[in-house]
Structure 1
Amino acid sequence: MNGLPEIVDSLEYKLKQLLRKMEVLEKRNRELESKLSESAMVNGSQHEEIMMLKKQNETLKMANSLLGSDDNKRETKLKINSLIREIDYCIAQLSD
């Protein structure tokens, strides 16, 4: 029975250590969740910026080919044909 208080003290000490470690890990978890959220926001804004830049690039390519560049004439013709088909479809829908 002499060892029982020592065992209880040892368990109490280990329990306090575990609680401290748990608090540290919870704090670290919150920090990581915050960083993850921030990274997701940055990723989303970068994705939007990439999409906008791609659209601008396509617009510039089309404008360049309309100005007489031979590089993207085929793509421009296809885009114009596509736009004409869409206009024809809209006219047909309005006629009905």
Structure 2
Amino acid sequence: MSNTLDAIHLLQDKLESLFFNYEFLKKENDILLKSTTVLQQKLVEKEQALEIQKKEYDLLKIAKTIEGSSDNTRDTKLKINTLIKEIDKCIFQLQE
């Protein structure tokens, strides 16, 4: 009978240990999920900021070319032609 009680106590101790570990891991998982969410939001914000910076850079590059820099004149003309083609497409689609 003593062996049975010892086995029950051992089983009870192991179950308590497992339950404690389960609760700890559950809390840790919640913390990690919150951290992941925050980091994902920051990543989205940084990607948006990068996209804005790229657009500003392109505009500045065009402005410098129009200003009289002879280095990027060809690029500016190509960009202007592309923009005109896009505007023409939009006008054509509006007319349909």
Q: TM-score, normalised by structure 2?
A: 0.89
Residues 1-96 of structure 1: matches in 2 within 5 Å?
1-93=1-93
**Cα distance, 1:63 vs structure 2:** 0.2
1:50 partner letter: L
| C-alpha separation in 2, matches of 1:37 and 1:18 | 28
The answer for unaligned runs of 5 or more in structure 1 is none
More moved, 82-91 vs 1-10? 82-91
Q: Report the alpha carbon displacement of residue 85 of structure 1 after superposing the two structures with TM.
A: 2.0
Output one character per residue of 1:31-63: Cα deviation in whole Å (capped at 9) or x when no partner. 100010000000000000000000000000000
> Following the alignment from structure 2 to structure 1, what is the Cα–Cα distance between the partners of residues 93 and 23?
66
Q: In percent, how many aligned pairs have the same letter?
A: 36
The CA distance in 2 between the partners of 1:56 and 1:25, in whole Å, is 46
Aligned amino acid, residue 11 of structure 1? L
CA distance in 1, matches of 2:4, 2:94: 92
Instruction: Give the C-alpha shift of residue 2 in structure 1.
Output: 2.1
Q: Distance in 2 between matches of 1:13 and 1:69?
A: 80
List structure 1 runs of 4+ shifted beyond 3 angstroms. 87-96
Aligned length: 96
